[in-house]
Amino acid sequence: METIEKFANYMQEKHLGKENGVTEQELAIRFGVTKRTVRSWMSGVNNDPTIPRLVSTADACYMCATNQEGAEAITKGYKRVISEIKKLRVMQKKMGLDGQVKINLGDDYKEVVEVFEK
């Protein structure tokens, strides 16, 4: 079994739901790897459409146990994206590139635009 799948299975068994969250540091110690490796595994889990959603906050990491937890994670994710885009717009203005730098969102363009249009 692939490492990311093993990690996802472990998280699903031991850390299902917000109340069972674990820190990146605890996971790194548990698996004998760096926190950077743990974050890489978490990214792999979240980029695999066949594995349930893994949430990582400043306080804890956990697998979503309910649709509500998943919805909250998605909402927070969109808020982070919007915040980052706002920061980039300010940087553009400071550099005198107001509106001249374009972001290629590829296939995700429509979904992102729909969020901003709401």
pLDDT tens string 42-79: 999 988 888 888 888 778 899 999 989 888 888 888 88
pTM (whole model) above 0.75: no
Distance CA 29, CA 80 (A): 28
- The per-residue pLDDT for 39 is 92
- The average confidence (pLDDT) of the chain is 83
Nearest one of 49, 68, 65, 74 to 11, comparing CA atoms: 65
For the stretch 18-36, pLDDT in tens is 999 999 999 999 999 999 9
Sketch out the chain's domains with CATH numbers: 3-65 (1.10.10), 70-117 (no CATH)
> Which pair of structure tokens corresponds to residue 67?
């649709």
Q: With 60 as the cut, is the pLDDT of residue 113 above it? A: no
